[in-house]
């Protein structure tokens, strides 16, 4: 599908700036894209936070750069709430919604899965913390290893029909070049994915004592 290029703000509160730029450079090399020609702004360990009075720093960045996409890695590093509290997470996402409406940009959050239990669950159920996370987002993409394959799932998509699971491969060309390649559909895993979704849901309900 057609896209229109816009600036990107990548906020990394987990890795150092040097490591982040190194990873980004390897991915761009794989696509033969020079970093200096792309409107990608990378910040690392700047203390960006959705709350505690530091929202002004993020607002100033959005006003100055006017990005079309804001990537935050990871969600847990930019809020001071309890991940298991729907009330706390609702407050965080209410603020994000205000930023989206005001600046007209897309927010992309990297987040973590729970540690797998007796049954490996589907991506939306496996999100760590409150279900408010999966309830807020328009699109959810989950990446998991299944039967030694790197499988991408799309448990939720408000804008279109959910994508069937497919496999990708990480390609290391050399020390300066790193790529991601689409391998194919994960049709043979579809039944397993549906089974895991059901058993994961039941496991969660039982663990909550409902």
Lowest mean pLDDT among 71-75, 80-84, 123-127, 143-147: 123-127
Cβ pair 53, 43 in contact under 8 A: no
Structure tokens at 84: 């298991």
Give the burial class of 60: count Cβ atoms within 10 A of its Cβ; 0-12 exposed, 13-18 middle, 19 or more buried. exposed
- The 10s digit of each residue's pLDDT in 119-153 is 455 555 567 778 899 899 999 999 988 777 899 99
pLDDT confidence tier of residue 24, bands split at 50, 70 and 90 = very high
Give how far the C-alpha of residue 203 lies from the chain's centroid of Cα atoms, to the nearest Å. Answer: 24
- The 10s digit of each residue's pLDDT in 104-120 is 999 999 998 876 555 45
Query: What's residue 209's pLDDT?
Result: 64
* Dist CA 66 CA 75 (whole Å): 21
Of 72-81, 169-178, 190-199, the range with the highest mean pLDDT is 169-178
**Residue among 130, 94, 91, 128 nearest 110 (CA):** 128
Phi-psi region of 179 (alpha: psi -120 to 50; beta: other; left: phi over 0): beta
Query: What's residue 89's pLDDT?
Result: 92
Position of tokens 């799309």?
154
Backbone dihedral angles phi then psi of residue 171, each to the nearest 5 degrees: -110, 120
pLDDT confidence tier of residue 14, bands split at 50, 70 and 90 = confident
Looking at residue 113, the DSSP 8-state letter turns out to be B
Query: What's residue 186's pLDDT?
Result: 86
Handedness of CA 122, 123, 124, 125 (dihedral sign): positive
Secondary structure E strands in 78-148: 106-110, 139-146
């Amino acid at each position: 599908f057609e896209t229109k290029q816009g600036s990107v703000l990548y906020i990394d509160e987990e890795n150092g700036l040097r490591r982040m730029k190194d990873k980004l450079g390897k991915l761009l090399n794989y696509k033969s894209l020079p970093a200096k020609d792309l409107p990608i702004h990378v910040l690392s360990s700047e203390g960006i936070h959705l709350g505690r009075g530091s929202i002004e720093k993020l607002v100033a960045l959005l006003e100055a750069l006017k990005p079309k996409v804001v990537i935050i890695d990871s969600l847990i590093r930019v809020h001071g709430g309890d991940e298991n509290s729907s009330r706390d997470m609702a407050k965080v996402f209410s603020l994000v919604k205000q930023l989206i409406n005001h600046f007209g940009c897309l927010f992309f959050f990297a987040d973590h899965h729970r540690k797998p239990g007796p049954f490996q669950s589907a991506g939306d159920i496996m999100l760590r913390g409150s279900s408010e996370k999966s309830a807020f987002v328009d699109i959810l993409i989950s990446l998991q290893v299944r039967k030694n394959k790197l499988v991408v799932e799309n448990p939720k998509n408000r804008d279109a029909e959910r994508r069937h699971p497919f496999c990708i491969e990480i390609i290391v060309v050399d020390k300066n070049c790193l790529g991601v390649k689409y391998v194919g559909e994960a049709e043979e895993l579809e039944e397993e994915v549906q089974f895991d979704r059901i058993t994961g849901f039941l496991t969660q309900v039982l663990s909550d004592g409902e």
